[in-house]
Amino acid sequence: MIEDQPGVGKTTLANVLARLLGLSLQRIQFTSDLLPADILGVSVYKRETESFSFHPGPIFSQVVLADEVNRATPRGQSALLEAMEEQQVTIEGETRALPEPFFVIATQNPSNQIGTFPLPESQLDRFMMCLQLGYPDNKAERELLKSRDRRELLAETVEVITATDLRVAQSPAKAIYVAEPLLEYLLHHLSKNGGWWWLRH
């Protein structure tokens, strides 16, 4: 989760990350009229075959950018819950697996802005961390003004790892040993600081 004021580069950061990792990216612009079917996909009736054909939604991507996620109503936000927890979605009674690797990068506007909805605890729990970018300092902002257009720079970004290499790198993580004192420290920190939100600090 990346939360901050509009215009500080949240979407650009997500795009660069996907390109560097060599992963497919789908951007979903969350709005108040967004429906779960707009995210998950829908079955369309084909008259020539007299059957329904499933058209997958943007959730079927290795990296999903949920842009301004708190602008959608709770109904629209709910489409991410199963995907983020179980890396699958259930549509019309059928469970469909999502690509591997799969993860969601969400951007969020400040909750005091007009047209935002609070994210439920069940959804916040599915994010590993929350980052706040903040405004750049004068030196960095001057460099931004002097540099080339960010869309040109983004187009020149090349991957530094493939999706296959990333999966190989992820596989040993399950075998890492974590000592009991460290687990106790984490549990104490999480309960004291309100769950995953302590990671923002």
Is-contact 46 85, C-beta < 8 A? no
Predicted local distance difference test score (pLDDT) of residue 198: 45
3-state secondary structure of 2: strand
Q: Which long-range contacts (CB under 8 A, 24 or more apart) does 114-119 make?
A: 115/32, 115/71, 116/70, 116/71, 117/70, 117/71, 117/72, 117/73, 117/74, 117/77, 118/70, 119/69, 119/70, 119/77
What's the token pair of residue 4? 């901050």
Q: Specify the pTM.
A: 0.74
Domains parsed from the chain with CATH numbers: 2-200 (3.40.50.300)
Assigned token pair, 97: 């697996």
pLDDT averages per 10-residue partition of the chain, 201 residues: 76 84 88 89 85 89 89 86 89 88 86 79 82 80 79 80 83 86 83 52 40
Predicted confidence at residue 201, as pLDDT, reads 40
The predicted pLDDT at position 197 comes to 47
Q: Please report the pLDDT score of residue 167 as a whole number.
A: 83
Q: What is the pLDDT of residue 193?
A: 57
Alpha carbon of 79 to those of 33, 64, 119: distances in Å?
13, 12, 13
CA distance 116 to 114: 6
User: Rounded to whole angstroms, how far apart are CA atoms 170 and 176?
Assistant: 11
- pLDDT at residue 139, as a whole number: 86
